[in-house]
Chain A
Amino acid sequence: MVALFLLLAIPVTVFVVMKNQELRKKAAPATTLSITPVTVNKAVGEEFTLEVKMNTAENQIVAVDLKLVYDPTKLEGLWIRNGTMFPNILSSGVVGSGTASIALGAPNTTTPITGTGTIATLRLKAIAGTTTPVTVRFGSDTFVGALNEGSNNALTSSIPSTITIGGGTQGTPTPSSLTPTLTPTLPATGSASPSAITIDSPINNASVTTDQPTLKGKAPAGATVTITIYSDPITVTVTTDANGNWSYTLDQPLASGPHTIVVATQDPVTGQTKTATLAFVVATGDENGASGSAIPVSGAVENTLILLLVGTLFIIAGSLIPVFGKVRV
């Protein structure tokens, strides 16, 4: 009788427990993240802010390791900061090329975060037009840690933001409209496509001995080229000749030290803004004692060459001696 009872009771108990677990799982609080606004329309050069929102549902959130991803050819990250929902920054906000991250925490484990609110704010700049919209989305390694959820990621779904960047300000390339949009991005582009714009002189990271250098490059024939020299900044426009060459000699002296050039033009076919940047140094021996070189000097190149030569000689010697030895044998 007892055996029969056990035979029936065990499967029933297992079934009930499993059912309860399943129910709990179905009812398990589902934390979501979203980026607002969900859709954004901006012009090239415009800066805008996105907010990262959280709905904890029933979860008690302790920490969020937030990773955002975007197209670095279209968007430049400026900064990321914590929102009001999480006062505790566990690791600092970092914006890189196409990524932004910040880790946030509750004040302590006895006061976990619940509810809805803004957990972070991301500032972006539109740097190039889009033919199809791009997204700012959550990286797959975004992790939301919650009490009573063990090592499980409490994040169940996320909503990205879709960004459309129009031609915007580059349609009318006047100095006043372009100046704020062309924050230099190093290193220089270097390898531009034939339809793109280039800076051929000075060379990237080179030193120039005049404080009024001539800047030269190429762009589509007849194009208007906007040149901005940072950090003052100085902005001028020139027009390329029939061969696509543009040139400009500064009419005012630049201060000694590092400078950055940004040139921009509108692609006549696509309407997109093409840009190129490079850094150079005006080395006219200023009174502040600046190094006068974009490449800081500590080791001497001559020494390196001598050592390379000596080393090579030893390599040759080391190679030839055994060879001669065998010949003698």
Chain B
Amino acid sequence: MRGIYHITPSGWAGLAFAAFCFVVLPEISGRLWLSVFTSTGCFVVAIAGVAFVYARLGMVSLTQVGLMGIGGWVTLRLGYYWDLPFEVNVLIAGLVCMVFGCLLALPALRMRGLYLALVTLMAAGGLDIIFVTFQFPNGGEGFWGVAMTGGQQIAGPVLAAGPEGYLRLVVGVALLSFLLIEAHCRTKPGRAWAMIRRSEASAIAVGVNVALYKTWAFAIAGLLGGIAGGLLAGSIGILDAATFRATESIMLFVLAVVGGSRYWLGVVIAATLYKILPALLNNWGVSADLSFVIFGAGLLHAVITAPDGIAKQIYDGVAGSVTKKKQEATRA
């Protein structure tokens, strides 16, 4: 029996990559790259949530950046109100978003999968408007806490000091997120999700409470979105409504599919493309709007011919060369 703690080759690669990001990456990166990697890491956490819901249940969530926004808002709000440690604030933000994730699944729980996607699209549109209207707390008065000129920043994390430490914190959280998802998938919830994806009737027939497990999946995606938003807020200090537009939520989902939603590598590829491709285009003097075109075309390509995304193609490539080497070795 493949035990719960069994580590696959892809898992080893992931752990090695995480170790590299934790130990080496902060040492070799300059100030600018540190902030780029940190925010990429935040988006890795968020995309892990969307990707998992799509890969395991075939459910489409188009609200993830909106949930990040809520997470960021809560973190900032708490940070300005009380003196709780930053980590606690982020965790609370995650839990708040968990509840939002559940609420999101509610209106369409008993309807076709398409409705769920449409509800999340509407939620993304709605949150977009709310963020633009109310903005993010920056130390101002009152509940919304918005002042014309920003005050001092919220307190940083206790566990980590400086931008290097912050990047390590984010890498650690990202690793924990993947482990959380993997642990679910290898146990009872994962089996229930697999049945739901097969068909809801078959899931009911084996005794799965379909509504509960669907909601639970959305709750996990919400938790990760909220934590990602909180970490992003902590790294930048101030948040801007423009970061959390509905377009961005759509983009996150699109990239999760393009990267390969079943694999950690796919999620990392997605986050990297999301943060780095527009910046590269800008550097080359090309409008970043073209990244929309590239992502859109990538999605069509993935949906039509490569449902497991870039990550799967890389895995197949690696697996192919490994067997080739083995064959050569046996021949020699």
Tell me if chain B binds chain A.
Answer: no
